Amino acid sequence: MNIFRTKSIELLKEEARTHSLRKELGAVDIIMMGIGVIIGTGIFVLTGIVAAKYAGPGLILSFIIAGLTCAFVCFAYAELASMVPIAGSAYTYTYTSLGEFTAWIVGWKLILEYSVGACAVAGGWSAYTVGLLKSAGMDLPLALTTVPAEGGMVNLPAVLITLFLTYLLVCGIKESTTVNKVLVVIKLAAIFLFLFLAGPRVNPLNWEPFLPFGYSGVSAGAAVIFFAYLGVDSIATSAEETKNPSRDMPIGIIGSLVICTVLYVAVAAVLTGVVPYDQLNNAEPVAYALRTLGYQFGSALVGTGAVCGLSTVLLVMMYAQTRAFFAMSRDGLIPSAICKIHPKYGTPHIITILVGMAVALVSGFTPITVVAEMCSVGTLFAFLVATVGVVVLRKTRPDAERPFRCPAIKTVATLAILSCIYIMCNLAYATWVRFIVWTVIGLIIYWAYGYSHSVLNKMEQLTRKTGKAF
């Protein structure tokens, strides 16, 4: 049983030509997509929760640690994305370097990563929307805006936004990226408005004590907010739909990370400087801070920007989830019937609808704090394995074309791997239990379906029967 069989880059590219997605994206689209998915929940939702429960003002350091870890990973991803410009991101990269079995585990983690992440974002979107409507004098019933665990019946706003974005994704990638650009501009305007209004009101006394939970709290905070950097992998899933991936993907991945990390650190510093950290435990901390300062109108504007910003995050996460499924179905590891391309829209419409319905159901009934940590562990695992894959490909495919080469690969890869392991070790015990359970379920599915239906497995069987290599 050859469960570690690898897929050649040449075969991947040939399959992409045969079952191609439309190439609609350029470098600016990739950067905007990166900002769209990285800047969102991390600023508008998790900053408050992490400051209050984990890091206090040390949240600033948490973002720096998470950003540096992601920077190491980004160089590895940039090389892989330019070298293997195929949908699937970490799953596809692992298939070419570490083999099918490891790729399946990574792909299964990506399903966890994107689905759970999308649910968390939908919950944050709902919180900001309800807050905006409340400030406008419209109080929605608690039963329709809160999950059962928090005393309600269903988080209906989260369900509705998910279904709307599902429809948009079915209509096509060009339409989706156009909407994304508009929403990203609004989101950035909201962030700069917050910095402009709240920056002059920073009180350094609010930064004391700077590390109320100690350095362990900073590390735990970095583990939770790493969820925000999930966007790096999301960007990589778009490689197959990029016009010039060898140039545009490295620019998009590295450029968006730099911009987003600077904004994260700035917002964390101002937020904890204007409001005591122990008062930030809510799902709309940025708008809450402005209301506390008396900027009711500014709070409404930032809240509007947050709603737009979280919409882009949810849009890109769901997009990335469907592309990961698409890559796995093309390899035969999941049924290909659910990932057929729509003849008119050029999108995998069936799986997009299924993903949208699943996210809508989970976000409507599950608390946000549970799903955020689950997303972090999936992201870190995928980053870890993909980085190992870069090193392996340098050894097994030294002559392969690499339009972008990761500088000082041994040093960068080592730092990326150690950083990912360090942050993973700071995740909660319950998160690891869920992670292991999810892994066991994935292994059962692989042995029950994926292994026997694998395209590579069928090719090997034909080779043994006919004596001809396929």
Read off the pLDDT of residues 345-366 as tens digits, 9 standing for 90 and up: 777 888 889 889 988 988 888 7
Domain that holds residue 206: 9-463
Q: Is the pLDDT of residue 331 over 60?
A: yes
Q: What is the mean pLDDT of residues 312-330?
A: 82
Distance, in Å, from the CA atom of 190 to the CA atom of 187, rounded to the nearest integer, reads: 5
Residue 2 falls within a domain, yes or no? Answer: no
Distance, in Å, from the CA atom of 220 to the CA atom of 377, rounded to the nearest integer, reads: 12
Phi, psi dihedrals of residue 25, rounded to the nearest 5°: -105, 145
CATH number at residue 40: 1.20.1740.10
**Beta carbons of 253 and 261 less than 8 angstroms apart:** no
Residue 470 falls within a domain, yes or no? Answer: no
Residue 469 falls within a domain, yes or no? Answer: no
pLDDT tens by residue, 282-317: 767 888 888 888 887 777 777 777 788 788 778 878
Residue 468 falls within a domain, yes or no? Answer: no
Of 52-66, 187-201, 421-435, minimum mean pLDDT range: 421-435
Distance, in Å, from the CA atom of 48 to the CA atom of 64, rounded to the nearest integer, reads: 16
Number of separate domains in the chain? 1
Report pLDDT for 373.
Answer: 61
Confidence class of residue 174 from pLDDT cuts 50, 70 and 90? low
**Beta carbons of 186 and 179 less than 8 angstroms apart:** no
Report pLDDT for 1.
Answer: 58
Report pLDDT for 450.
Answer: 87
- DSSP string covering 160-193: HHHHHHHHHHHH-HHHHHHHHHHHHHHHHHHHHH
Q: Provide the 10 A C-beta neighbour count for residue 139.
A: 10
Q: Is the pLDDT of residue 89 over 60?
A: yes
Q: Is the pLDDT of residue 444 over 90?
A: yes
Residue 3 falls within a domain, yes or no? Answer: no
Of 56-60, 158-162, 210-214, 422-426, minimum mean pLDDT range: 422-426
Distance, in Å, from the CA atom of 84 to the CA atom of 66, rounded to the nearest integer, reads: 26
Report pLDDT for 256.
Answer: 85
Report pLDDT for 345.
Answer: 72
For residue 97, give both structure tokens: 């370097």
Distance, in Å, from the CA atom of 19 to the CA atom of 101, rounded to the nearest integer, reads: 23
Distance, in Å, from the CA atom of 331 to the CA atom of 195, rounded to the nearest integer, reads: 47
Three-class SS state of 145: strand
Q: Is the pLDDT of residue 92 over 80?
A: yes
Residue 231 falls within a domain, yes or no? Answer: yes
Residues in contact with 399: Cβ distance below 8 Å, sequence separation at least 6, in sequence order = none
Q: Is the pLDDT of residue 270 over 90?
A: yes
Q: Is the pLDDT of residue 442 over 80?
A: yes
**Beta carbons of 302 and 290 less than 8 angstroms apart:** yes
Q: Exposed, middle or buried, 212 (CB in 10 Å: 0-12/13-18/19+)? A: middle
Residue 324 falls within a domain, yes or no? Answer: yes
Report pLDDT for 371.
Answer: 58
Of 29-43, 147-161, 412-426, minimum mean pLDDT range: 29-43
Q: Which residues pair with 25 in a beta bridge?
A: 242
Q: What is the mean pLDDT of residues 119-133?
A: 81
Its pTM stands at 0.78
Direct distance between the N- and C-terminal alpha carbons of the chain, in angstroms, rounded to an integer: 18
Three-class SS state of 141: coil
Report pLDDT for 396.
Answer: 87
